[in-house]
Amino acid sequence: MIKSAVVIFLLVSCQVLLGAVHKTPVRPNIILRSEWGAARASSAQNLAKDPAPFVVIHHSDSDSCTTRAICQARVRNFQNYHINNKGWGDIGYNFLVGEDGNVYEGRGWGKQGAHSKSYNSKSIGICMIGNFNHHNPNAAAVKAVQDLIEYGVSLGKIEENYTLLGHRQTTQTSCPGDSLYQLIQTWPHWSSN
């Protein structure tokens, strides 16, 4: 009786330790295209490098959103602008994140975006909805982005040793805003190169 209790204790202890070492990433709440009312993409191209070796962080340089209804409306407006004004086949980003803590599927995993010309074919572009020049996104949005990246790694859609960049590192722009850019420099995998 005592011997089997010790064996059970050791097995449970090993499982707890292994769980701590092999932490299962949290799946963020991803609002699918069909759920936010996306228009059909007129063109789609797969990433040239899948899994993606880069993650590029953007901000929308617009008002933020703290409810799902407002975030969905913003995402639809971004898609309309990208298709009708920019002439792109779809919304430019792979994913968008609101301060409601939700992730909105843009082009999605494995698809080439239109968010940073020289990195479109080899990155996942994540846009945080709002203007983050003078303040950081709220904790819910930050957690959602970090969870999305970890989830993408666990799915094999982002390379394990991916490089994290701010949009301004890939082209002449102030995106993702001064405050957000400072913040992402503290995240794992950010590189000054």
Structural domain includes residue 16:
no
Q: What's the domain count of the chain?
A: 1
pLDDT of residue 22 exceeding 70, the answer is: no
Structural domain includes residue 80:
yes
Confidence at residue 122, expressed as pLDDT on a 0 to 100 scale = 98
Contacts of 31 (CB under 8 A, 6+ apart): 68, 71, 72, 102, 103, 104, 105
Confidence at residue 183, expressed as pLDDT on a 0 to 100 scale = 98
Confidence at residue 43, expressed as pLDDT on a 0 to 100 scale = 87
Chain-wide mean pLDDT for the chain?
91
Rounded Cα gap, residues 126 and 141, in angstroms: 11
Rounded Cα gap, residues 79 and 82, in angstroms: 5
The confidence band for 53, taking pLDDT boundaries of 50, 70 and 90, is very high
For residue 110, give the CATH number of its domain.
3.40.80.10
Structural domain includes residue 166:
yes
Confidence at residue 188, expressed as pLDDT on a 0 to 100 scale = 93
Structural domain includes residue 17:
no
| Cβ density class 4-14: b for 16+ within 10 Å, e for less | eeeeeeeeeee
Domain with 101 in it = 26-184
Structural domain includes residue 193:
no
Share of the chain above pLDDT 70, in %: 88
Structural domain includes residue 105:
yes
Residues in the chain: 193
Confidence at residue 184, expressed as pLDDT on a 0 to 100 scale = 98
Structural domain includes residue 119:
yes
In this prediction, residues 134-143 reach a mean pLDDT of 98
